[in-house]
Structure 1
Amino acid sequence: MKVTELHITSLLLPFALMLSGVTAQADDLAVNAPVTHQTTGEFEDIVFAVENAILNAGLLIEGHSHVGDMLARTKEDVGGGKDLYSHADVFTFCSASVSRQVMEADILNLQHCPYSIFLFETPEAPGQITVGRRAYGGSMQPAAELLDSIIADALMLD
Protein backbone atom coordinates (compact mmCIF):
# COMPACT_ATOMS: atom_id res chain seq x y z
CA MET A 1 0.00 0.00 0.00
CA LYS A 2 1.30 3.43 -0.93
CA VAL A 3 1.63 6.12 1.70
CA THR A 4 -1.10 8.22 0.07
CA GLU A 5 -3.56 5.26 0.02
CA LEU A 6 -2.84 4.56 3.69
CA HIS A 7 -3.31 8.23 4.52
CA ILE A 8 -6.65 8.44 2.66
CA THR A 9 -7.87 5.21 4.30
CA SER A 10 -6.99 6.48 7.77
CA LEU A 11 -8.81 9.75 7.05
CA LEU A 12 -11.96 8.03 5.78
CA LEU A 13 -12.20 5.43 8.54
CA PRO A 14 -13.55 7.81 11.21
CA PHE A 15 -16.24 9.04 8.80
CA ALA A 16 -17.26 5.50 7.91
CA LEU A 17 -17.51 4.62 11.60
CA MET A 18 -19.50 7.77 12.29
CA LEU A 19 -21.96 6.97 9.50
CA SER A 20 -22.38 3.40 10.74
CA GLY A 21 -23.19 4.84 14.18
CA VAL A 22 -25.88 7.09 12.68
CA THR A 23 -27.39 4.07 10.93
CA ALA A 24 -27.27 2.08 14.16
CA GLN A 25 -28.99 4.92 16.02
CA ALA A 26 -31.73 5.12 13.40
CA ASP A 27 -32.19 1.33 13.54
CA ASP A 28 -32.28 1.48 17.34
CA LEU A 29 -35.00 4.15 17.26
CA ALA A 30 -37.07 2.11 14.81
CA VAL A 31 -36.73 -1.07 16.87
CA ASN A 32 -37.29 0.74 20.18
CA ALA A 33 -40.21 2.95 19.19
CA PRO A 34 -42.43 3.55 22.21
CA VAL A 35 -45.68 1.65 22.66
CA THR A 36 -48.51 4.18 22.50
CA HIS A 37 -52.29 4.27 22.70
CA GLN A 38 -54.65 7.05 21.66
CA THR A 39 -57.71 8.04 23.63
CA THR A 40 -60.01 11.02 23.75
CA GLY A 41 -61.12 13.05 26.71
CA GLU A 42 -59.98 15.64 29.17
CA PHE A 43 -56.27 15.43 29.94
CA GLU A 44 -56.76 15.62 33.71
CA ASP A 45 -59.27 12.75 33.57
CA ILE A 46 -56.73 10.56 31.78
CA VAL A 47 -54.01 11.59 34.26
CA PHE A 48 -56.35 10.56 37.09
CA ALA A 49 -57.06 7.21 35.38
CA VAL A 50 -53.34 6.45 34.88
CA GLU A 51 -52.52 7.44 38.46
CA ASN A 52 -55.30 5.21 39.82
CA ALA A 53 -54.26 2.29 37.61
CA ILE A 54 -50.70 2.49 38.98
CA LEU A 55 -51.98 2.61 42.55
CA ASN A 56 -54.51 -0.20 41.86
CA ALA A 57 -51.58 -2.36 40.75
CA GLY A 58 -50.23 -1.96 44.29
CA LEU A 59 -47.39 0.32 43.24
CA LEU A 60 -46.10 3.52 44.78
CA ILE A 61 -45.70 6.47 42.43
CA GLU A 62 -42.18 7.79 42.89
CA GLY A 63 -42.58 10.79 40.63
CA HIS A 64 -45.12 12.74 38.67
CA SER A 65 -43.26 15.05 36.31
CA HIS A 66 -45.13 17.88 34.62
CA VAL A 67 -42.87 17.99 31.57
CA GLY A 68 -45.30 20.04 29.50
CA ASP A 69 -45.44 22.77 32.15
CA MET A 70 -41.64 22.86 32.38
CA LEU A 71 -41.25 23.15 28.61
CA ALA A 72 -43.84 25.92 28.41
CA ARG A 73 -42.24 27.79 31.32
CA THR A 74 -38.73 27.61 29.83
CA LYS A 75 -39.60 27.96 26.12
CA GLU A 76 -38.36 31.52 25.73
CA ASP A 77 -35.33 30.98 28.00
CA VAL A 78 -33.99 28.21 25.77
CA GLY A 79 -35.01 29.69 22.42
CA GLY A 80 -37.96 27.39 21.82
CA GLY A 81 -39.97 28.21 18.75
CA LYS A 82 -43.30 26.54 19.38
CA ASP A 83 -45.53 24.96 21.97
CA LEU A 84 -44.94 21.21 21.81
CA TYR A 85 -47.68 20.10 24.17
CA SER A 86 -50.86 21.43 25.65
CA HIS A 87 -50.18 19.01 28.50
CA ALA A 88 -47.47 16.38 29.06
CA ASP A 89 -46.83 14.33 32.19
CA VAL A 90 -44.67 11.34 33.12
CA PHE A 91 -45.31 8.97 36.02
CA THR A 92 -42.39 6.97 37.44
CA PHE A 93 -42.71 3.97 39.73
CA CYS A 94 -41.17 0.61 40.42
CA SER A 95 -42.28 -2.92 41.21
CA ALA A 96 -40.04 -4.90 43.56
CA SER A 97 -41.19 -8.26 42.18
CA VAL A 98 -40.89 -7.33 38.50
CA SER A 99 -37.57 -5.56 39.07
CA ARG A 100 -36.21 -8.60 40.90
CA GLN A 101 -37.32 -10.84 38.02
CA VAL A 102 -35.86 -8.74 35.21
CA MET A 103 -32.62 -7.95 37.04
CA GLU A 104 -32.02 -11.59 37.91
CA ALA A 105 -32.41 -12.28 34.19
CA ASP A 106 -29.93 -9.52 33.32
CA ILE A 107 -28.28 -7.35 35.94
CA LEU A 108 -27.97 -4.51 33.42
CA ASN A 109 -31.76 -4.13 33.42
CA LEU A 110 -31.14 -1.82 36.37
CA GLN A 111 -30.89 0.94 33.74
CA HIS A 112 -34.64 0.70 33.12
CA CYS A 113 -35.72 1.29 36.71
CA PRO A 114 -37.89 3.14 37.61
CA TYR A 115 -40.48 2.36 34.95
CA SER A 116 -42.50 5.15 33.42
CA ILE A 117 -45.75 5.89 31.67
CA PHE A 118 -46.09 9.13 29.73
CA LEU A 119 -49.12 10.95 28.44
CA PHE A 120 -49.55 14.09 26.38
CA GLU A 121 -51.91 16.26 24.39
CA THR A 122 -50.76 18.56 21.58
CA PRO A 123 -52.11 21.97 20.57
CA GLU A 124 -52.86 20.53 17.11
CA ALA A 125 -55.12 17.77 18.49
CA PRO A 126 -57.02 19.00 21.56
CA GLY A 127 -58.79 16.21 23.38
CA GLN A 128 -56.67 13.48 21.77
CA ILE A 129 -54.42 12.05 24.46
CA THR A 130 -51.45 9.77 23.79
CA VAL A 131 -50.53 7.37 26.59
CA GLY A 132 -47.43 5.24 26.31
CA ARG A 133 -44.36 3.53 27.61
CA ARG A 134 -40.86 2.68 26.48
CA ALA A 135 -40.45 -0.38 24.30
CA TYR A 136 -39.03 -3.38 26.09
CA GLY A 137 -38.24 -6.85 24.86
CA GLY A 138 -36.23 -9.87 25.85
CA SER A 139 -35.56 -10.10 29.57
CA MET A 140 -37.59 -6.90 30.13
CA GLN A 141 -40.79 -8.56 28.94
CA PRO A 142 -42.23 -8.80 32.50
CA ALA A 143 -41.89 -5.01 32.84
CA ALA A 144 -43.54 -4.52 29.44
CA GLU A 145 -46.44 -6.71 30.55
CA LEU A 146 -46.81 -4.79 33.81
CA LEU A 147 -46.88 -1.44 32.03
CA ASP A 148 -49.29 -2.74 29.39
CA SER A 149 -51.66 -3.98 32.08
CA ILE A 150 -51.57 -0.61 33.87
CA ILE A 151 -52.26 1.27 30.64
CA ALA A 152 -55.04 -1.17 29.71
CA ASP A 153 -56.62 -0.63 33.13
CA ALA A 154 -56.35 3.16 32.85
CA LEU A 155 -57.79 3.31 29.33
CA MET A 156 -60.29 0.48 29.88
CA LEU A 157 -58.79 -1.54 27.01
CA ASP A 158 -59.69 -5.23 26.75
Structure 2
Amino acid sequence: MMKSLIYAVPFVCASALAADEAITVPYDGSFDDATFAVESAIVGKGLVIDYVSHVGEMLNRTGADVGSDKEIFKAADIFLFCSAVVSREVMEADPMNIAHCPYGIFVTEDSDGVKIGHRDYPDGVMQKVEDLLSDIVADANGG
Protein backbone atom coordinates (compact mmCIF):
# COMPACT_ATOMS: atom_id res chain seq x y z
CA MET A 1 0.00 0.00 0.00
CA MET A 2 2.72 2.49 1.00
CA LYS A 3 4.72 1.62 -2.11
CA SER A 4 1.70 2.39 -4.32
CA LEU A 5 1.17 5.67 -2.51
CA ILE A 6 4.79 6.70 -3.02
CA TYR A 7 4.49 6.05 -6.74
CA ALA A 8 1.18 7.91 -6.98
CA VAL A 9 2.34 11.15 -5.32
CA PRO A 10 4.39 12.45 -8.28
CA PHE A 11 1.47 11.89 -10.64
CA VAL A 12 -0.95 13.73 -8.37
CA CYS A 13 1.49 16.63 -8.04
CA ALA A 14 2.07 16.69 -11.79
CA SER A 15 -1.70 16.87 -12.38
CA ALA A 16 -2.00 19.78 -9.97
CA LEU A 17 0.86 21.59 -11.68
CA ALA A 18 -0.59 20.94 -15.12
CA ALA A 19 -3.78 22.73 -14.06
CA ASP A 20 -1.73 25.89 -13.50
CA GLU A 21 -0.38 26.10 -17.05
CA ALA A 22 -1.46 28.68 -19.58
CA ILE A 23 -3.37 27.99 -22.77
CA THR A 24 -2.34 30.43 -25.49
CA VAL A 25 -3.17 31.07 -29.12
CA PRO A 26 -1.27 33.33 -31.51
CA TYR A 27 -3.02 36.49 -32.66
CA ASP A 28 -2.44 37.74 -36.20
CA GLY A 29 -2.44 41.46 -35.55
CA SER A 30 -1.16 44.16 -33.24
CA PHE A 31 -1.25 44.13 -29.46
CA ASP A 32 -3.76 47.00 -29.49
CA ASP A 33 -6.01 45.14 -31.91
CA ALA A 34 -5.83 42.02 -29.72
CA THR A 35 -6.72 43.91 -26.54
CA PHE A 36 -9.65 45.56 -28.31
CA ALA A 37 -10.79 42.16 -29.62
CA VAL A 38 -10.59 40.58 -26.15
CA GLU A 39 -12.47 43.47 -24.54
CA SER A 40 -15.15 43.27 -27.23
CA ALA A 41 -15.46 39.48 -26.88
CA ILE A 42 -15.88 39.70 -23.09
CA VAL A 43 -18.47 42.47 -23.29
CA GLY A 44 -20.13 40.63 -26.19
CA LYS A 45 -20.84 37.73 -23.81
CA GLY A 46 -22.72 40.15 -21.55
CA LEU A 47 -19.90 40.23 -18.98
CA VAL A 48 -18.44 43.23 -17.19
CA ILE A 49 -14.68 43.75 -17.04
CA ASP A 50 -13.80 44.47 -13.41
CA TYR A 51 -10.21 45.49 -14.00
CA VAL A 52 -7.46 45.55 -16.61
CA SER A 53 -4.04 44.83 -15.15
CA HIS A 54 -1.22 46.38 -17.17
CA VAL A 55 1.38 43.79 -16.16
CA GLY A 56 3.69 44.55 -19.07
CA GLU A 57 3.94 48.23 -18.14
CA MET A 58 4.65 47.32 -14.51
CA LEU A 59 7.39 44.84 -15.44
CA ASN A 60 9.03 47.30 -17.83
CA ARG A 61 8.79 50.15 -15.33
CA THR A 62 10.21 48.20 -12.37
CA GLY A 63 12.89 46.08 -14.05
CA ALA A 64 15.79 48.33 -13.08
CA ASP A 65 14.42 48.63 -9.52
CA VAL A 66 14.80 44.89 -9.03
CA GLY A 67 18.16 44.64 -10.77
CA SER A 68 17.02 43.36 -14.16
CA ASP A 69 17.43 44.73 -17.65
CA LYS A 70 15.53 41.88 -19.33
CA GLU A 71 12.40 42.78 -21.26
CA ILE A 72 9.88 40.01 -20.62
CA PHE A 73 7.05 41.48 -22.69
CA LYS A 74 6.82 44.41 -25.06
CA ALA A 75 3.27 44.68 -23.70
CA ALA A 76 0.98 42.54 -21.53
CA ASP A 77 -2.50 43.13 -20.16
CA ILE A 78 -4.83 40.89 -18.16
CA PHE A 79 -8.60 41.39 -18.33
CA LEU A 80 -10.32 40.34 -15.08
CA PHE A 81 -14.02 39.59 -14.95
CA CYS A 82 -16.59 37.18 -13.56
CA SER A 83 -19.70 35.44 -14.83
CA ALA A 84 -22.60 35.32 -12.37
CA VAL A 85 -24.03 32.24 -14.09
CA VAL A 86 -20.83 30.20 -14.37
CA SER A 87 -19.49 31.34 -10.99
CA ARG A 88 -22.68 30.27 -9.25
CA GLU A 89 -22.56 26.86 -10.94
CA VAL A 90 -18.97 26.15 -9.98
CA MET A 91 -19.29 27.53 -6.44
CA GLU A 92 -22.51 25.64 -5.76
CA ALA A 93 -20.55 22.50 -6.66
CA ASP A 94 -17.68 23.54 -4.35
CA PRO A 95 -17.66 26.89 -2.52
CA MET A 96 -13.85 26.84 -2.51
CA ASN A 97 -13.90 27.36 -6.26
CA ILE A 98 -14.01 30.99 -5.18
CA ALA A 99 -10.21 30.68 -5.31
CA HIS A 100 -10.45 30.76 -9.12
CA CYS A 101 -12.48 33.97 -9.30
CA PRO A 102 -12.16 36.46 -10.96
CA TYR A 103 -11.34 34.89 -14.29
CA GLY A 104 -8.68 36.36 -16.52
CA ILE A 105 -7.76 36.50 -20.16
CA PHE A 106 -4.37 37.90 -21.03
CA VAL A 107 -2.84 39.45 -24.11
CA THR A 108 0.93 39.46 -24.47
CA GLU A 109 3.43 40.67 -27.02
CA ASP A 110 7.00 39.45 -27.04
CA SER A 111 9.63 38.59 -29.64
CA ASP A 112 7.43 35.68 -30.80
CA GLY A 113 4.46 37.95 -31.52
CA VAL A 114 1.07 38.60 -29.95
CA LYS A 115 -0.75 35.89 -28.00
CA ILE A 116 -4.11 35.63 -26.26
CA GLY A 117 -4.61 33.14 -23.49
CA HIS A 118 -5.95 32.05 -20.16
CA ARG A 119 -5.09 29.73 -17.30
CA ASP A 120 -5.76 26.00 -17.60
CA TYR A 121 -8.37 25.10 -14.99
CA PRO A 122 -8.66 21.82 -13.07
CA ASP A 123 -10.73 18.97 -14.48
CA GLY A 124 -14.31 18.65 -13.32
CA VAL A 125 -16.77 21.46 -12.78
CA MET A 126 -14.11 24.14 -13.47
CA GLN A 127 -14.13 23.08 -17.10
CA LYS A 128 -17.25 25.26 -17.39
CA VAL A 129 -15.01 28.26 -16.71
CA GLU A 130 -12.36 27.03 -19.11
CA ASP A 131 -15.01 26.55 -21.81
CA LEU A 132 -16.22 30.13 -21.30
CA LEU A 133 -12.67 31.49 -21.51
CA SER A 134 -11.86 29.39 -24.56
CA ASP A 135 -15.01 30.70 -26.28
CA ILE A 136 -14.02 34.29 -25.52
CA VAL A 137 -10.47 33.74 -26.80
CA ALA A 138 -11.84 32.13 -29.98
CA ASP A 139 -14.24 35.06 -30.49
CA ALA A 140 -11.41 37.54 -30.00
CA ASN A 141 -9.30 35.63 -32.49
CA GLY A 142 -11.95 35.88 -35.17
CA GLY A 143 -13.53 32.48 -34.50
Please report how far the alpha carbon of residue 32 of structure 1 lies from its aligned counterpart in structure 2 after TM superposition. Answer: 3.4
Q: Distance in 1 between matches of 2:81 and 2:116?
A: 16
Report the alpha carbon displacement of residue 103 of structure 1 after superposing the two structures with TM.
0.5
Q: TM-score, normalised by structure 2?
A: 0.86
Deviation at 1:81? 3.1
The residue aligned with 2:56 is 68
* TM-score, scaled to structure 1: 0.78
Considering only CA atoms, is the larger Rg found in Structure 1 or Structure 2?
1
Aligned to 1:152: 138
Give RMSD over aligned pairs: 1.8
Partner residue of 1:97 out of 79, 85, 107: 85
Quote the residue 1:111 is aligned against: 99
**In the TM superposition, what is the alpha-carbon distance from 1:42 to its structure 2 partner?**
0.8
- Match 1:88 to one of 76, 81, 92: 76
Q: 1:89 is aligned with what amino acid?
A: D
**2:117 paired residue number:** 132
Show structure 2 runs of 5+ residues with no match: 1-8
The number of equivalent residue pairs is 133
RCO comparison, higher one (Cα < 8 Å, 6+): 2
